[in-house]
DNA sequence: CGAGGTCACTTGGAGCCCCAACTTTGCAGC
DNA sequence: GCTGCAAAGTTGGGGCTCCAAGTGACCTCG
C-alpha cells in the first residue's frame, strides 16, 4: 500500500523521523540535493521537493551557498495572559520574566480607522485615531509585533502615561472592565515575515485585543507572534 | 529594484491581488498552468511554483483533473471561551449557537500517560488513564478534534456523566478552580489533515486545556482546530 | 604568518519534458 | 431525449538541465 506513495515522501519521512527522534540534532546539516539523489536513489526534483516540504514545515532551514540545516526549535515559550493585563506591551513583561532582555521600538501616528478598526471600536470609518506600531525584541532578535489603535483623547503623551492604558483611560472617568482577545493563525504578510525574520512556511498567531469599558470599546490592538516559538497561556478561574 | 524579483512572484502577486480585491471571487477558477505560461510569459516551472505558493497560503485550492479555484474562506467563526467552560465538548456549544447542527463521535480507551501527558497531569509516565478521542462535525463536515485524558477515577461511565466534568469530579469531593489553556499553531499531523479534511498549507490551532483543582491537575486535553476557519475568543474581566 | 584569490559546492530560480489519474465536455448512437 | 464513451484539458509526481549568487575551504603569494 505504501509502495505507491510518492518517492519524495519517503525522503521527507525519513529525514523528519531523524529530526524528531534526535538522530539529527538542531543545527545538523541535511544532505545536499546531490547527496539525497544518490542516497535515496531519487531524481533531483524529488530531492528538491522533499527539502522544500521540510522547510515549509519549519523543520529545516536552507542557507544559500551553504546547505540545509535542522532548525533550532526553542521550546514553545509560554506567554501568560491574565498575569500582566495592564501593560502597554502585551506579553513583553512576560518575555522579560523569562530572562530575556526585552527592548522595543514604537512610533505613533494619526490614522483613519478604516472598516476593520471602525467595527472593532464601534466608530465611524473616517474617525482619526492614534495608531502606534511596536516592534519587540528579545536580546536583539525580533519577537513580536503589535499595532495599537486608540481614540485621540486617550492617547499617551508622555513615556509615563504609556505605561498604563487603564490609568490613562481612568483619568477620563472611564473604567476598563473587560479585555477580549481573539486568537487565530494565518500566513504572515510580507512585511511581517520581514520584521519578524520568519523563514518561509512559519505561520503567525494573530491576537486581536480589545479593552472594553462596559459595552464601550476603548482600545484595540493587533498582536502578531511567530507561531512556532510561542504559546499563549490563558488562565480562567472557574 | 522590483525588476530583478523572481518571475513567479509577479504571478503570485497579481493573482493574490485579484483575490483579495474581489476581482476573483471565492470559487472562481484560476488560469491553468498552460494558460499562466501564456498570459504571464513565464515557463511552466514558474507557473507551477506560483500556484503552489498560493495554495500553501490557503488562497486557492487545486482539484486534480479540474483546475485551481479561489478557496471559500468563511469568515473566521468565533469560538468563545469563558462562556461555555464546563462542557465535555470544548467549543461545541459555541458551534451550535452559530446555527450549525453539531454532531460528534467519540471513543474512549485506557492508555498510558506517556511523558507529555504525565507532565501535564503531574502523574507517573506509566500511569494508566482514560483517553477519549472526539471528532466534532458541523453539518457533517469535520470541524474540530479533541483528545481528553482523565485519571481512571474521574472517567465518565454514562452519557449523563459525560456532560459535566465539574460535576463528575465534584462527586469525589474535588472542586475545579481553574482552567488553563495554552494556544499555539503548528503544521497538522497527517492524521489530523485527514480527519479535518485540510488542504495542504493550512495550519491548525492547538489548544492544550487543563482543568485544575487548586494545584492539582484533574483533566487535560488537546484540542485541534483548523487555523483558518476559527478564532478563539478569550474574555477576561479586569 | 596573514591576506587575498581561486575553486568546488550549495541553494533557489527557471525552463522543458513525460506520464498517470482524474474531470469535463461534447458528440454519436440508441 | 438520454446514455455512454472518447477526447481534451488539468493537476500532481517525477526527471533532467542551466545558471546566478553565495559560502567555505584551501592554496599561494607577499
How much is the pLDDT for A44? Answer: 95
Residues of A in contact with B233 (CB under 8 A): 180-182
Record: contact B182-A234, CB cut-off 8 A: yes
Record: contact B182-A82, CB cut-off 8 A: no
Record: contact B235-A203, CB cut-off 8 A: no
Point out the nucleotide closest to B67 (alpha carbon to C1′): D10
* pLDDT tier, B4 (very low <50, low <70, confident <90, very high otherwise): low
Per-residue pLDDT of chain A (238 residues; tens, 9 = 90+): 444 689 999 999 999 999 999 999 999 999 999 999 999 999 999 999 999 999 988 899 999 999 999 998 767 888 888 877 777 677 777 888 777 888 888 899 999 999 999 999 999 999 999 999 999 888 778 889 999 999 888 877 777 777 778 778 888 888 899 999 999 998 888 788 888 888 877 889 999 999 999 999 999 999 999 988 899 999 888 7
Q: What is the mean pLDDT of residues B12-35?
A: 95
Residue A238 contacts strand C, CB under 7 A: no
How much is the pLDDT for A188? Answer: 87
B3 pLDDT above the threshold of 70: no
Among A161-170, B120-129, B220-229, where is mean pLDDT lowest? A161-170
Half-sphere exposure of A53 (CA within 13 A, CB side): 18
How much is the pLDDT for A2? Answer: 44
If one compares B141 and A62, the residue with the highest pLDDT of the two is A62
pLDDT tens figures, A134-172? 998 887 788 899 999 998 888 777 777 777 787 788 888
Q: Which of residues 1-60 of B touch strand C (CB under 7 A)?
A: 6-9, 37, 42-46, 49
Cα–Cα separations (whole angstroms), residue B63 to B24, B34, B43, B72: 17, 16, 21, 14
Residue A62 contacts strand C, CB under 7 A: yes
In A, minimum Cα distance to B208 occurs at A233
Record: contact A185-B185, CB cut-off 8 A: yes
Average pLDDT for chain B: 88
In the block, cell 505507491 appears at A4
Could you tell me which residues come within 8 angstroms of residue B67 by beta carbon, excluding any fewer than 6 positions away?
B29, B30, B32
Residue A30 contacts strand C, CB under 7 A: yes
B1 pLDDT above the threshold of 70: no
pLDDT tens figures, B166-222? 778 888 888 899 999 999 998 888 788 888 888 877 889 999 999 999 999 999 999
Q: Pick B186's closest partner by Cβ from A178, A228, A236.
A: A228
* pLDDT tier, B80 (very low <50, low <70, confident <90, very high otherwise): confident
How much is the pLDDT for A125? Answer: 92
How much is the pLDDT for B227? Answer: 86
* ipTM of the complex model: 0.83
Among B10-14, B160-164, B223-227, where is mean pLDDT lowest? B160-164
Among B56-60, B162-166, B221-225, B228-232, where is mean pLDDT lowest? B162-166
Amino acid at each position: 500500500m505504501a509502495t505507491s506513495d510518492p518517492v519524495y515522501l519517503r525522503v521527507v519521512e525519513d529525514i523528519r523521523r531523524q529530526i524528531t527522534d534526535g538522530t539529527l540534532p538542531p543545527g545538523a546539516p541535511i544532505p545536499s540535493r546531490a547527496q539525497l539523489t544518490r542516497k535515496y536513489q531519487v531524481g533531483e526534483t524529488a530531492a528538491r521537493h522533499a527539502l522544500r516540504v521540510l522547510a515549509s514545515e519549519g523543520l529545516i532551514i536552507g542557507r544559500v551557498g551553504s546547505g540545509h540545516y535542522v532548525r533550532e526549535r526553542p521550546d514553545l515559550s509560554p506567554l501568560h495572559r491574565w498575569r500582566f493585563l495592564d501593560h502597554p506591551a502585551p506579553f513583553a513583561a512576560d518575555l522579560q520574566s523569562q530572562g530575556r532582555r526585552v527592548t522595543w521600538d514604537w512610533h505613533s501616528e494619526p490614522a483613519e480607522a478604516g472598516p476593520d478598526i471602525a467595527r472593532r471600536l464601534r466608530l465611524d470609518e473616517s474617525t482619526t485615531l492614534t495608531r502606534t506600531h511596536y516592534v519587540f525584541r528579545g536580546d536583539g532578535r525580533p519577537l513580536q509585533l503589535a499595532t495599537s489603535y486608540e481614540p485621540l483623547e486617550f492617547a499617551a503623551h508622555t513615556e509615563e502615561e504609556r505605561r498604563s492604558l487603564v490609568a490613562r483611560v481612568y483619568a477620563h472617568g472611564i473604567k476598563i472592565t473587560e479585555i477580549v482577545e481573539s486568537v487565530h493563525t494565518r500566513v504572515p504578510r510580507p512585511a511581517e515575515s520581514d520584521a519578524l525574520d520568519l523563514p518561509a512556511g512559519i505561520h503567525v498567531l494573530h491576537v486581536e485585543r480589545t479593552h472594553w469599558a462596559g459595552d464601550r470599546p476603548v482600545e484595540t490592538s493587533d498582536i502578531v507572534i511567530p507561531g512556532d516559538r510561542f504559546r499563549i497561556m490563558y488562565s480562567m478561574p472557574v
